[in-house]
Structure 1
Amino acid sequence: MSPPSGVNAQLRHLVHYHLDNGMLENALFFAGRLHALEPRNGDAAHLLALCNLRLGRYKAAFDYAKPKNHSPHLGCAYTFAQACLGLERFEMGAQALEKARGLWAGRNHWNKHSDTSKRHMPDAAACYRLLGKLYAAHGETKKAIDYYVESLKLNPLMWDAFVDLCDIGAVVRPQNIFKITPDILASMSHVASNGHALNSFTSQDSFDQSNPFVSTPDVDPFNPTGRPGADVGLNLGGANLLSRLNGSAPISYANGSSSAYPDAETPTSNGLYRAEEDVMMGETGGPVMHDHHHTELPPRAPVRKTRMQNLSAANEEPPKMRSITTRTRFKTASEMNERTEIPGPVGQNGHKRTISGHSAREQAQQASAPPPVDPAAAPPRRSVRLLNTLSSQIRPSGSRLAAATSRDQEAKDRREMRKAKAPGAKGKAGGMSTVGRVVSGNRKPPVDHSDSMKPDSRPASVASTIIAPPKMLVPVDTSREQEALNWLLDLLLKMGSGYKYLSRFETDKALEALQSIPAPQRETPWVLAQMGKAYYERSMYTEAEKAFQRIRDKSPSHLEDMEVYSNTLWQLKKETDLSYLAHTLVDQDRLSPQAWCALGNAMSLQREHDQAIKCFSRATQLDPKFAYAFTLQGHEHIANEEFDKAMYAYRCAISADNKHYNGWYGLGHVYEKMAKYEVAEKHYRAAFAINPTNPLLAVRIGFVLDRMKKTEAALHQYEAAIRLDPRSTLARFRKAQILLKINAPDEALQELMYLKDAAPEDANVHFALARTFKRLRNRTEAVRHFTIALNLDPKAQPLIKEAMDSWEDEGAEGFSSEDDR
């Protein structure tokens, strides 16, 4: 038993209903029923693949969207590419989307999504963005950048495309991205001119004939797009008389059938051939029309025929009545001024009648003849009066205003005829011969038809006014929309500038841009997280902690970037706060890698390195692309002196994110521990190329250069680190050590006196000061600072006593307590 014809449309409706309401399992069930009915239909395959994709079943979405038994389909190609992105089959997904370029190139859905209308098929900007992600994941950075740029050209609000460009390392200019483009202006003007700027209930491109729940009035001039939704107008099945006369015979406009407008797009059920794929209705269930970039015009009036054509038309059959959906609408009063002749009934003499009842030949003769002196001198013919009587009977008479107007016109004509009579007998005789003659019982005074050719002499009927109201030209006012869009783009410009500077590790500029964001937006978790990361990169851990704590206060469920917060607490050695954060995040979502990173940092701060390694390993299992978890795991392996495992962890971090400079730094640190200084320098420089504003990387390069006996080069690196961050105590300390080596104790003393004020509790600083005063032959100050260093770090007693006993030593390097996290 075959199912009824409306089952497929009902199933599509159910699938979209459940998808829009988040009931994915129900949507998948009904999509399976639809696909069973239409196994070769691309729409059915797309819906089934889409349901599986949203449920996270990438392999099932991959199988159903793969072009096997159906023709090329945009929805299937896009869903297939998304499934390939999840399955890491990047090249296959990119090729499928490239092959379908002809289906999505040129699409633009800007300003077409609202709470009452949507698009289930992607536009060009979305496809370019997905291609960029696929090629970026595949390692083809140049292609990814090109596609991201194309996406942003079409839609400057494609935020993740901008973020990915910054993460890749491309040179972006936010001021050239976040601005109103000509396409956006044209889209806003088009929407405003069609009256959908505030209340968009239409799916602007097409409608689906197969959906029985959506009326499809086509382009009937009797059903304008401005008709209220509750008025069915002259649609098939309407309650009015003309709809009943029209019958219920279906009218097809699909493939090669007749249409009132051959230029109009042909709606089909497949998203491949129609302009759009989704059919939306307003709340009142009114018709959904196709909005073109221009206002649809009624069919043109027939061309004026010549006399010979009119004579030959008498022998032809009368024209057949056309469908009510394609007939020419009545003209309104404003349109009567046009010089367009409406075809009238053919008279007995074979001439086509005009509006006034005269034939075209008689009308031409009257136009060429001089006008009579007396307007009543030419009596109306009997056929004309009969035709006018018949027209008055057919004319809608439901309006009292129209009847009153016609009576007033007749009274006016009678008064003018009386005034035109001569007062003398001669004039009276002449007038009596032509005026007031009784013909066939018609005792009404004749009406002057000389003015019937004037468009203004005949009032517009009420029916014509109701059926075809004049199209009002609403002025396009997009100032408010442009103002709102400008505000939004300005906000994105500030946020984008901050993210761009942060991706380049220009933390000062990033903080300046982020601070310029309006306060309500600045206090959101995303902006606060960027500010916290900027402070963290500048080693301003106290400020970073405040920023992240505001995130926890305002949005306790926020998980993004919480691993940076846990690292901040690790640097501040706040064991209690870090433990509380770790347990809170684990309770909140034990399957989030951020929670396990926080727990691993808490274990590391308690010197439980093996437990910390297990936590970081769990984080990498949950997210194999979480590069920072691999880096933290490598730090713990170095603490256990497991250099091979540490090297493997750092290499995994670089594989997950090639721009993760901490992975390159970790590899350099491992080679430094293994005394392979040249290899360590290469990795340090690779990290410094990614983050050229980090003074710690410059210090590390200088340290390995110093180990390779390149003292001058090391000194230049330390000076470069001080220029990057004048507050860097480690850079100043290393510089002081180099100055002592090259026998410049006075310059070293200046650096160390700054460090004494910046870090008065650091035993290394006092030990270096004691050595400097010893070089300057200031025994008193040298002994005093040796004593302070001994009190601050009693474990260094052997080294300090050896330095005090030997006043000739030159090579003591001191001890360093800096961390490498």
Structure 2
Amino acid sequence: MEAILTDCVQNSLRHFMFRNAIFLCERLCAEFPSEANLQLLAACYLQNNQAYSAYHILKGTQTAQSRYLFAVSCFQMDLLNEAETALCPANEPGGEEENASGTLVGFIMIGDLIHGLIETSIPNGAAGHYLLGLIYRYTDRRKSAIHHFRLALSIDPLLWAAYEELCVLGAAEEATVVFGEAAALCIQKQYLHHGVTSPNLHTSNEDYNLVSSRNFGSEDVSPRQLKHAQGNNLRDIPGNYHGTAGLSGAASQPQNGGPSNMPFYNTPSPMASQLSGVAPPPLCRNVQPNGPNLNTVNTDGSPRSVVNSTIQAPRRKFVDEGKLRKISGRLFSDSGPRRSTRLAGDAGVNTNANTTAVAGNGTNSSSKYLGSSKFGSVALRSVTVRKGQSWANENIEEGIKNEAFDDSRANMTSSSFPSGDVKSLDQDGATVPIGGVVISSSKIISGASEVLGLLRTLGEGYRLSCLYRCQDALDTYLKLPHKHYNTSWVLSQVGKAHFELVDYLEADRTFSLARRMSPYSLEGMDIYSTVLYHLKEDMKLSYLAQELISTDRLAPQSWCAMGNCYSLQKDHETALKNFQRAVQLNSRFAYAHTLCGHEYVALEDFENGIKSYQNALRIDSRHYNSWYGLGMIFLRQEKFEFSEHHFGMAFHINPRSSVIMSYLGTAMHALKRSEDAIKIMDRAILADRKNPLPMYQKANILMSLEKFDDALKVLEALKEYAPRESSVYALMGKIYKRRNMHEKAMLHFGIALDLKPSAADVATIKAAIEKLHVPDELEDNL
């Protein structure tokens, strides 16, 4: 009877009939009470997203597998201390004092003795160390988290989620090292010398047990269940800042702000509270199993529809990482930047493909991000598709795969071998049962090599993306075979890379293709909604938000898209509610906290904005957008030292962002470090020559140093990129006034007025014209 009930429970789990499995397993436990059966019941509840039931069933149990399942339930309920206690033996410090500086290769090559100690100290081996690493990460113990993620990879080199976490933490080694020869030896040893099945594959029916350490630990507890869909690639850009000042706002004196009691210079402390696991999504609607013909492959097998393989005129990037925002709001006043100041508002657009004309409306109080306007005439930047050697070798690799498959079918037997039945043999002629199929050792070696080769490319691309070396990441992804390149995960990573490069049109194309390939996938859709926000594609954004909500109402990405939709419509209060809903569904989703901060700043609620940014940093200390957001708040509050510190933290994480460098230079200039400010502005200009923000800031600094000729040279160059920006001409008029060249000053003030600035800017410029013949020293006393 026990065997029959057990088999029925496992069969129900295999067919995702969780309620039936729970009912039958309760009968099993009632008839045959044992800890093994309790483990099976707990696994049923975990599969049915009832972590609280598993928690109460397993509380107080002592076996390794029970402790692991109990830790999983604790993690999902945000009881991280209890989860850690369950995983770590009482006589060990839980990795807190472990040396996290060792390399992965060193861990892999330690040998059987160390691996045995590892597996006996932490239940479920690699899966246990991975879960413990997550616990340490979310309790702000970075070194210990890195240590256990590396140990997880040393035990199971195919545990991609652990490498992904290391990339997010900025501690991943090169993928060629992690998935290299040592990893291949580890995999071969697992299969050839011990005859074990893959940690991530189920074997025969009698071995299929969801509570076994190999199966449940690494497959059935999905990364989403453990990580709560944190969205690790989900990194916003500085341009995604709600309600920030424009170029002149950053250069002029910020408004005063209230005091804050936050520890400005401290590392974020562990998060106080986190929500429990997210319920599984409903059946996806709008799914197209057989999608349209995407025509994504060239005749040579290379991808072509995602990146522009056609040489086109270079396109001008959006300023402020997206658009040139209104900068003339406070050129001549001491009141600081206005929250509504923006560039590229309602004015006309130059039709030149190499430059984009922008003018500000000045009154838009819903400025969500630094770069949020769409240029009318933009030529796509060309991206050359490299035809790497991996494409040429694809047919050969395909032949090897087919041969391995045919051989495996030929060797298939009707019975499944237990894991201990295959003795250690010489690699020539050795056979290993995997999933009921007997495969020769040579095929195991070949297959491991192919898998690791694929992971090397994927891993290196992801690592480079997390280091914000986005162009290098794009080049790496192009080395993938087209069948892997044109998958939703890879396309989403490519879209994020274009997003970080402020190439919004290319990001839109890539994310759109990812949606067509996998309309049910939510990977990167929060970033895609931000891309559409920057492009001001309100119809496409609204449609995307509705599609995501209908696909999964319990996913934070869906509500982030909905929030962006409302924010684009300038309804910041409703947008904030949607972002708060995303936080409620998944408190570990750092991007949702950041978006809440943006909306609070748009509503001028700086205190809650600071709290939201700090919450994001507690989850992901490398989420540079929140460091940037804090810097902007303190800049507006004239807390320049705090502002410089937070901009500096953002710059340390993402040293390639011209916008971060621009505002870091602005804070330095406010602290009377003008020479350092000019140096950082020069770096910002070199980082993105199409971004006029650092050029405008540099001209402001030069003018304050009374280097008028140098400032005018910079502004003349800036006119090539922003020929219709009134603030540029207004600043030139002010410089000519300082040089007592009143006719030229009047000319440039007049041009600035002709470009239809905002009403507030019109008043400012007219006031400057009225005081044209008033000496500067007298004007300051007026």
Q: TM-score, normalised by structure 1?
A: 0.60
Secondary structure of the equivalent of 2:88?
A: helix
For 2:565, the equivalent position in structure 1 comes to 602
CA drift at 1:528: 1.6
Structure 1 counterpart of 2:40, from 43, 47, 55: 47
Structure 1 counterpart of 2:576, from 613, 630, 637: 613
CA drift at 1:711: 2.1
Structure 1 counterpart of 2:531, from 544, 548, 568: 568
User: Is 1:79 the equivalent of 2:42?
Assistant: no
Q: TM-score, normalised by structure 2?
A: 0.63
- Return the alpha-carbon distance in structure 2 between the equivalents of residues 588 and 204 of structure 1: 35
For 2:163, the equivalent position in structure 1 comes to 162
Contact 1:803/1:809 (8 A) holds in 2: no
Contact 1:156/1:179 (8 A) holds in 2: no
Correspondence list, 1:353-372, <5 A: none
For 2:10, the equivalent position in structure 1 comes to 16
Structure 2 counterpart of 1:507, from 459, 470, 494: 470
Change (3 A) 1:15 1:755: same
Secondary structure of the equivalent of 1:293?
A: coil
- Return the alpha-carbon distance in structure 1 between the equivalents of residues 123 and 7 of structure 2: 19
For 1:643, the equivalent position in structure 2 comes to 606
For 1:93, the equivalent position in structure 2 comes to 83
Structure 1 counterpart of 2:421, from 279, 291, 299: 291
Structure 2 counterpart of 1:788, from 751, 764, 773: 751
User: Is 1:64 the equivalent of 2:30?
Assistant: no
- Return the alpha-carbon distance in structure 2 between the equivalents of residues 100 and 290 of structure 1: 32
For 1:184, the equivalent position in structure 2 comes to 187
Contact 2:656/2:687 (8 A) holds in 1: yes
- Return the alpha-carbon distance in structure 2 between the equivalents of residues 189 and 566 of structure 1: 48
Question: What amino acid is the match of 1:619?
Answer: A
For 1:115, the equivalent position in structure 2 comes to none
Report Cα offsets for 1:715-769 as digits up to 9, x if no partner. Answer: 2221232233333210111011112222333333332233222222322223334
Report Cα offsets for 1:372-392 as digits up to 9, x if no partner. Answer: xxxxxxxxxxxxxxxxxxxxx
- Return the alpha-carbon distance in structure 1 between the equivalents of residues 676 and 430 of structure 2: 76
- Return the alpha-carbon distance in structure 2 between the equivalents of residues 568 and 288 of structure 1: 52
Question: What amino acid is the match of 2:690?
Answer: R
CA drift at 1:44: 0.9
Question: What amino acid is the match of 1:23?
Answer: M
- Return the alpha-carbon distance in structure 2 between the equivalents of residues 809 and 594 of structure 1: 56
CA drift at 1:554: 2.0
- Return the alpha-carbon distance in structure 2 between the equivalents of residues 690 and 153 of structure 1: 27
Secondary structure of the equivalent of 1:793?
A: coil
Report Cα offsets for 1:69-98 as digits up to 9, x if no partner. Answer: xxx433212211111211222232233223
User: Is 1:797 the equivalent of 2:781?
Assistant: no
Correspondence list, 1:668-687, <5 A: 668-687=631-650
Structure 2 counterpart of 1:736, from 689, 699, 706: 699
Secondary structure of the equivalent of 2:82?
A: helix
Question: What amino acid is the match of 1:24?
Answer: F
Secondary structure of the equivalent of 2:655?
A: coil
Q: Is there any run of 5+ residues in structure 2 with no aligned partner, and where?
A: 93-112, 210-411, 433-438
- Return the alpha-carbon distance in structure 2 between the equivalents of residues 542 and 786 of structure 1: 35
Rg: which structure is higher?
1
CA drift at 1:638: 1.9
Report Cα offsets for 1:624-668 as digits up to 9, x if no partner. Answer: 122222222222222222222322322332233333222222222
Contact 2:65/2:124 (8 A) holds in 1: no
Contact 1:62/1:80 (8 A) holds in 2: yes
Question: What amino acid is the match of 1:590?
Answer: R
Report Cα offsets for 1:548-603 as digits up to 9, x if no partner. Answer: 12122222222222121111122222222222222222233222222222222222
Contact 2:422/2:431 (8 A) holds in 1: no
- Return the alpha-carbon distance in structure 1 between the equivalents of residues 777 and 643 of structure 2: 23
Question: What amino acid is the match of 1:35?
Answer: C
CA drift at 1:809: 6.8
Change (3 A) 1:126 1:648: closer
For 1:379, the equivalent position in structure 2 comes to none
Identity %: 33
Report Cα offsets for 1:402-424 as digits up to 9, x if no partner. Answer: xxxxxxxxxxxxxxxxxxxxxxx
Correspondence list, 1:515-594, <5 A: 515-594=478-557
Contact 2:556/2:585 (8 A) holds in 1: yes
- Return the alpha-carbon distance in structure 2 between the equivalents of residues 193 and 685 of structure 1: 50
Change (3 A) 1:807 1:487: farther
For 2:261, the equivalent position in structure 1 comes to none
Change (3 A) 1:606 1:29: same
- Return the alpha-carbon distance in structure 1 between the equivalents of residues 479 and 641 of structure 2: 44
Correspondence list, 1:418-457, <5 A: none
- Between 1 and 2, higher relative CO (CA 8 Å, sep ≥ 6) is seen in 2
Change (3 A) 1:809 1:649: farther
Q: Is there any run of 5+ residues in structure 1 with no aligned partner, and where?
A: 1-6, 111-120, 207-281, 296-471, 814-821
- Return the alpha-carbon distance in structure 2 between the equivalents of residues 776 and 723 of structure 1: 29
Question: What amino acid is the match of 1:74?
Answer: A
Report Cα offsets for 1:5-62 as digits up to 9, x if no partner. Answer: xx112222112211222111111112111211232x2211111111111111112111
- Return the alpha-carbon distance in structure 2 between the equivalents of residues 798 and 765 of structure 1: 16
Secondary structure of the equivalent of 2:546?
A: helix
- Return the alpha-carbon distance in structure 2 between the equivalents of residues 711 and 199 of structure 1: 64
Report Cα offsets for 1:263-321 as digits up to 9, x if no partner. Answer: xxxxxxxxxxxxxxxxxxx98567858425348xxxxxxxxxxxxxxxxxxxxxxxxxx
Correspondence list, 1:256-405, <5 A: 284=414, 290-294=420-424
- Return the alpha-carbon distance in structure 2 between the equivalents of residues 525 and 608 of structure 1: 32
Structure 1 counterpart of 2:677, from 714, 718, 727: 714
Contact 2:195/2:420 (8 A) holds in 1: no
Contact 1:498/1:514 (8 A) holds in 2: yes
- Return the alpha-carbon distance in structure 2 between the equivalents of residues 62 and 473 of structure 1: 44
Change (3 A) 1:545 1:811: farther
User: Is 1:26 the equivalent of 2:20?
Assistant: yes
For 1:236, the equivalent position in structure 2 comes to none
- Return the alpha-carbon distance in structure 1 between the equivalents of residues 723 and 637 of structure 2: 33
- Return the alpha-carbon distance in structure 2 between the equivalents of residues 509 and 636 of structure 1: 33
- Return the alpha-carbon distance in structure 1 between the equivalents of residues 416 and 431 of structure 2: 22
Question: What amino acid is the match of 1:662?
Answer: N
- Return the alpha-carbon distance in structure 2 between the equivalents of residues 199 and 76 of structure 1: 20
- Return the alpha-carbon distance in structure 2 between the equivalents of residues 50 and 485 of structure 1: 30
Secondary structure of the equivalent of 1:509?
A: helix
Secondary structure of the equivalent of 1:99?
A: coil
- Return the alpha-carbon distance in structure 1 between the equivalents of residues 662 and 507 of structure 2: 23
CA drift at 1:774: 5.8
- Return the alpha-carbon distance in structure 2 between the equivalents of residues 812 and 16 of structure 1: 87
- Return the alpha-carbon distance in structure 2 between the equivalents of residues 809 and 627 of structure 1: 52
- Return the alpha-carbon distance in structure 1 between the equivalents of residues 139 and 202 of structure 2: 43
- Return the alpha-carbon distance in structure 2 between the equivalents of residues 199 and 657 of structure 1: 34
CA drift at 1:812: 14
Report Cα offsets for 1:354-375 as digits up to 9, x if no partner. Answer: xxxxxxxxxxxxxxxxxxxxxx
Change (3 A) 1:659 1:199: closer
- Return the alpha-carbon distance in structure 2 between the equivalents of residues 126 and 191 of structure 1: 19
